[in-house]
């Protein structure tokens, strides 16, 4: 019984963490975008531009939740939740503090890379149920992209699993050595790029592509349901940077207690900022370039990294 | 009813309901949702029996791979003006016969093998699983891989053959 209660509490906590992360993320993103692209609005309103995000949140929550007449109503309504749930689930296996992960399982790493696969179904259904050519096209693009980038993403974390000899995140944290950073750096680059693609952020946001596909699968969504999609994106960003900081940069570095958590979160923050920086600097890719990057660049890079680590391990 | 049996019952209900929805839904996107629910419930069963690796692999391969592939295929078919494409099958009886035969085959094959009670000694960790797959079970593992490869080649040959005719 206690397991079920803990599960419910965890689910609630994860939902709240993601909402908060989305709030901070939107604020940080607009600040950074404002600095990079000389946008004034979000920097001026209130102290540090904080009020702008508050106003936007209020606007989103109070907006009418429009359901167009032609959509497949039930699937249309449930699709945002199918996209959101995996983002919350993937936060569960991350080792936050010394010896603590909400769900401590021997297949944590595999779980983390496998769970986003569920959100592909949600995006496809959102695009399909909208009964709208742009939305369907966007959904198809998203599915093709997310499935393709799952492979390099999974391969990129394998070297660390190989070095630690375990897929349990806490074991990886215990086994972690500083020289893994230079050794698995190619893997981290592949992980970073593939994660950006997995959560559909610029320069990989061609499913959304507001200039050509009028926001793709999200075209017909408004108000809170649209906000759930946006929150899932920030949830994915948070999960990807936390997991990257844990697996590739040693997480809490064996420091017990609150100090370790701070070290861990700071590292994740650097990765998240790097992701935002990339988003506001590079232009959107073309679909064929996107696919070519996944199959002809990232996958071979990940395989080379795997062979490299395999060769080093035999020397240890 | 204990929590364990409640979880098992819920998983069973989801699996059966998903299976029925997959067979009886006329709308293909609802069919896909039914199949997704069924596959997730099967993953839940694996985790319930302690085979976490198998559960996550089920999630990765079936929900993330097979189901998405099917949704992809659905989206590429022609859509009628009034809505989703509807599925009309002309092989009801033979499909039921094949499914029934497969069910009897699986039940008779597994009836002596699967224990009636949970034996946690059977369920091994990820390391043991890896050692078994790359050790004593290597031949079986490779054979399954070759079988899948052959199936893939057959599909390619069939598709190409259709073009040339």
Q: What is the pLDDT along chain A (316 residues), one digit of tens a residue?
A: 566 677 778 778 877 877 787 777 777 777 777 777 777 766 676 677 677 777 777 877 787 777 777 777 788 888 888 888 888 888 888 888 887 878 788 888 888 988 888 888 888 888 888 777 788 888 888 888 888 888 899 899 999 988 888 888 888 888 888 888 888 889 999 999 999 888 877 777 776 666 666 677 777 787 778 888 888 888 888 889 999 998 888 878 877 878 888 888 898 889 988 888 888 888 888 888 888 888 888 999 999 999 999 888 888 7
- Please tell me the distance in Å from A45's CA to the nearest CA on chain B: 43
Q: Categorize the per-residue pLDDT at B14 as very low, low, confident or very high, splitting at 50, 70 and 90.
A: very high
Tell me whether residues A121 and B125 touch, CB distance under 8 A.
Answer: no
Q: Which of B71, B72, B126 minimises the CB distance to A107?
A: B126
Dihedral sign for Cα atoms in the order A34, A58, A88, A262:
positive
Tell me whether residues A114 and B71 touch, CB distance under 8 A.
Answer: no
Residues B33-39, mean pLDDT to the nearest whole number: 88
- Angle (nearest 5°) at CA A271 between A269 and A273: 70
- Whether B3 has its CB under 8 Å from any CB of chain A: the answer is yes
> Which residues in A lie closer than 8 A to residue B57 (C-beta atoms)?
110, 114
- Whether B124 has its CB under 8 Å from any CB of chain A: the answer is no
> Which residues in B lie closer than 8 A to residue A148 (C-beta atoms)?
none
Q: Which of B36, B56, B84 minimises the CB distance to A110?
A: B56
Tell me whether residues A121 and B83 touch, CB distance under 8 A.
Answer: no
Which residue in chain B is spatially nearest to A119 when comparing CA positions? B64
Rg of chain A on CA atoms, in Å: 20
Tell me whether residues A129 and B29 touch, CB distance under 8 A.
Answer: yes
> Which residues in B lie closer than 8 A to residue A145 (C-beta atoms)?
none
Residues 6+ apart with CB under 8 A from A232: A18, A80, A83, A84, A86, A87, A119
Counting one residue from chain A and one from chain B, the pairs whose CB atoms sit within 8 A come to 81
Q: Which of A113, A117, A128 minimises the CB distance to B63?
A: A117
Please state, in angstroms and as integers, the Cα–Cα distance from residue A312 to each residue in A22, A87, A163, A305, B127, following that order.
Answer: 40, 34, 9, 11, 21
Q: Which of A106, A117, A128 minimises the CB distance to B52?
A: A106
User: What's the CA dihedral at A84, A90, A95, A97 to 10 degrees?
Assistant: 10
Q: Categorize the per-residue pLDDT at B52 as very low, low, confident or very high, splitting at 50, 70 and 90.
A: confident
Residue B149 corresponds to which tokens in the numbers above? Answer: 């490869």
* Distance between CA atoms of residues B131 and B138, nearest Å: 9
- Please tell me the distance in Å from B97's CA to the nearest CA on chain A: 31
The per-residue pLDDT for A38 is 75
Tell me the percentage of chain B whose pLDDT exceeds 90: 13
Q: Categorize the per-residue pLDDT at B101 as very low, low, confident or very high, splitting at 50, 70 and 90.
A: very high
Pick the range with the lowest mean pLDDT from A38-42, A65-69, B90-94, B100-104: A38-42
Range of the domain at A208: 2-315
- Please tell me the distance in Å from A272's CA to the nearest CA on chain B: 26
Q: What is the DSSP letter of A179?
A: T
Domain total in chain A: 1
The per-residue pLDDT for B110 is 82
The per-residue pLDDT for B165 is 46
For residue B134, pLDDT over 60 is answered with yes
Tell me whether residues A124 and B71 touch, CB distance under 8 A.
Answer: yes
> Which residues in B lie closer than 8 A to residue A139 (C-beta atoms)?
75
Task: State the best of B26, B46, B68 to mutate against chain A, taking most chain A CBs within 10 Å.
Answer: B68
Which residue in chain B is spatially nearest to A127 when comparing CA positions? B75
Please state, in angstroms and as integers, the Cα–Cα distance from residue B81 to each residue in A73, B74, B78, B84, B138, following that order.
Answer: 17, 15, 9, 8, 52
For residue B114, pLDDT over 80 is answered with no
Which residue in chain A is spatially nearest to B68 when comparing CA positions? A121
CB B26 within 8 A of CB A77: no
- Whether B67 has its CB under 8 Å from any CB of chain A: the answer is yes
Tell me whether residues B68 and A115 touch, CB distance under 8 A.
Answer: no
> Which residues in B lie closer than 8 A to residue A1 (C-beta atoms)?
3
CB B43 within 8 A of CB A97: no
For residue B85, pLDDT over 60 is answered with no
């Amino acid at each position: 019984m206690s397991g079920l209660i803990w599960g419910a509490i965890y689910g609630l906590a994860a939902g709240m963490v993601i909402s908060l992360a989305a709030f901070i993320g939107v604020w940080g993103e607009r600040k950074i975008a404002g600095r990079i692209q000389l946008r004034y609005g979000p920097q001026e309103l209130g102290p540090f531009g904080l009020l702008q995000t508050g106003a936007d949140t209020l606007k989103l929550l109070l907006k009418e939740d429009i359901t167009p007449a032609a959509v497949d109503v039930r699937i249309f309504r449930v699709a945002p939740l199918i996209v959101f749930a995996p983002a919350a689930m993937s936060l569960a296996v991350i080792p936050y503090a010394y010896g603590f992960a909400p769900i401590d399982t021997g297949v944590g790493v595999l779980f983390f890379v496998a769970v986003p696969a569920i959100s592909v179904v949600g995006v496809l259904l959102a695009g399909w149920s909208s009964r709208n050519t742009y939305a369907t096209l966007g959904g198809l693009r998203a599915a093709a992209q997310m499935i393709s980038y799952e492979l390099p993403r999974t391969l990129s974390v394998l070297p660390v699993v190989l070095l630690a000899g375990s897929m349990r995140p806490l074991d990886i944290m215990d086994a972690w050595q500083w020289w893994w950073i230079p050794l698995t750096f190619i893997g981290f680059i592949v992980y970073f790029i593939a994660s950006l693609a997995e959560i559909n952020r610029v320069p990989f946001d061609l499913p959304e592509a507001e200039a050509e596909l009028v926001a793709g699968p999200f075209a017909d969504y408004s108000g809170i349901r649209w906000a759930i999609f946006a929150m899932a994106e920030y949830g994915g960003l948070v999960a990807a940077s936390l997991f990257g900081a844990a697996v590739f940069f040693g997480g809490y570095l064996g420091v017990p207690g609150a100090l370790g958590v701070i070290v861990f979160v700071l590292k994740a923050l650097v990765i998240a900022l790097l992701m935002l920086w990339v988003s506001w600097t590079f232009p959107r890719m073309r679909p064929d370039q996107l696919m070519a990057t996944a199959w002809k660049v990232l996958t071979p890079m990940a395989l080379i990294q795997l062979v490299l680590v395999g060769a080093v391990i035999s020397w240890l | 009813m204990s929590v364990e049996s409640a979880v098992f019952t819920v998983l069973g209900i989801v699996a059966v309901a998903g299976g029925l929805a997959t067979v009886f839904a006329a709308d293909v996107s609802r069919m896909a949702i039914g199949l997704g629910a069924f596959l997730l419930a099967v993953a839940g069963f694996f985790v319930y029996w302690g085979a976490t690796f198998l559960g996550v692999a089920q999630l990765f391969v079936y929900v993330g791979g097979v189901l998405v592939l099917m949704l992809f295929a659905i989206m590429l078919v022609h859509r009628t003006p009034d809505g989703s494409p509807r599925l009309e099958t002309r092989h009801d009886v033979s499909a039921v016969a094949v499914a029934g035969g497969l069910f009897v085959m699986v039940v008779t094959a597994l009836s002596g093998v699967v224990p009636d009670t949970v034996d946690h000694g059977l369920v091994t960790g990820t390391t043991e699983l890896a050692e078994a797959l790359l050790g004593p079970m290597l031949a079986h593992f490779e054979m399954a891989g070759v079988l899948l490869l052959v199936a893939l080649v057959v599909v390619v040959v069939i598709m190409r053959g259709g073009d040339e005719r």
